[in-house]
Amino acid sequence: MKLPRRLTALIAAATVSIVLAACAGAPGSGAGAASGTGGSTSGAGEAKPTGTLTVFAAASLKATFTKLAAEFEAANPGTKVALSFAGSSDLVTQISQGAPADVIASADTKNMAKLADAGLLDGPARNFATNVLAIAVPPANPASIASFADLARPGVRVVVCAGQVPCGAAAAAVEKSTGVTLKPVSEESSVTDVLGKVTSGEADAGLVYVTDVKTAGDKVKGIPFAEAGQAVNTYPIATVGASKNKDLAAAFVALVTGAAGKKVLGDAGFGTK
């Protein structure tokens, strides 16, 4: 009886440690962030911030924020930025459930407002970039799309985002203001899925953000259209209220909203006015 009991305890202990280890390795590694905290709070006010910063950012910010994080680490030796990218609503849900993020950058103001309303932010959110829609077509442009109205031509296979996600809401706004009604063959739940359908050649055209067209390089051709200005998407950034490293978080927000941030974001196609 003794041995099995000891064995049971062993297995239980092993299980727990495996689970813990897995958690520590998860995006936004909470354990790492907490351990870095001591250094920054115990030091004098003007001491250089150190430690790990966990940044949750919308998927469309992947390229720019990866670059900015590297710049931030270079400018602040001793710091490390852990990035976690996902759909804005996913990020908001995760933070509401207690995910250990220090900074949140969302692709729309609506999702950020949810956090603000719940009192989960440290101070107000700051808008740092805008994004507008563009038409993405395969490089050969098989359906000869030249304008937004072309998308409504019969036989053109258009893919858009579903109305429930920000890019779909933007598309709906453009449709409404132009009076052009699209008959999409698919309403995807993310920009990535829309882009995927265009790059694979399944769709003749897709409505995505200008920044997505830039990121995709020569796999798709971007066709900007004036009506896109009817639905401008605004990106807000904020420090999370539960952050244990608010100095570092504030420094990162300052970088994103400052000149360095404007440069990187502007290069990627974002509006940074």
* 248 near another protein, judged by CB under 8 A: no
| Closest among 184, 183, 187 to 161, alpha carbons compared | 187
Task: Please provide residue 58's backbone torsions phi and psi, each rounded to the nearest 5 degrees.
Answer: -60, 150
| Residue 193 or 227 having the CB closest to another protein | 193
| Closest among 115, 66, 124, 64 to 94, alpha carbons compared | 115
* 189 near another protein, judged by CB under 8 A: yes
* 192 near another protein, judged by CB under 8 A: no
Task: Return all residues near 110 (Cβ < 8 A) that are at least 6 apart.
Answer: 166
- Alpha helices by DSSP H, listed for the chain, are 2-25, 30-42, 62-75, 88-96, 109-117, 166-178, 191-199, 210-216, 246-257, 259-267
Query: Using CB under 8 A, which of 4, 45, 179, 217 touches another protein?
Result: 4
Stretch that binds another protein, among 120-128, 185-193, 238-246, 262-270 (CB under 8 A): 185-193
Task: Return all residues near 204 (Cβ < 8 A) that are at least 6 apart.
Answer: 137, 138, 142, 143, 145, 156, 157, 158
* 162 near another protein, judged by CB under 8 A: yes
Query: Using CB under 8 A, which of 36, 87, 236, 269 touches another protein?
Result: 87
* 165 near another protein, judged by CB under 8 A: yes
| Closest among 161, 167, 159 to 137, alpha carbons compared | 159
Pairing of the two strands 233-240 and 121-131: antiparallel
Query: Using CB under 8 A, which of 28, 51, 184, 269 touches another protein?
Result: 184
Match 């354990």 to its residue by tokens.
Answer: 31
* 144 near another protein, judged by CB under 8 A: no
Rule CB under 8 A: which of 203-242 touch another protein? Answer: 203
Instruction: Record the tokens describing residue 106, joined without a space.
Output: 């969302």
Q: How long is the chain? A: 273
* 80 near another protein, judged by CB under 8 A: no
Beta bridge partners of 271: 130
| Residue 73 or 202 having the CB closest to another protein | 202
| Residue 105 or 107 having the CB closest to another protein | 107
Stretch that binds another protein, among 127-135, 188-196, 217-225, 244-252 (CB under 8 A): 188-196
* 201 near another protein, judged by CB under 8 A: yes
Q: Is 207 in contact with 194 (CB distance < 8 Å)?
A: yes
Binding mask 6-45 for another protein (x = CB under 8 A): -xx--x----------------------------------
Nearest approach, Cβ of 151 to another protein (angstroms)? Answer: 15
Binding residues: 60, 88, 191, 209
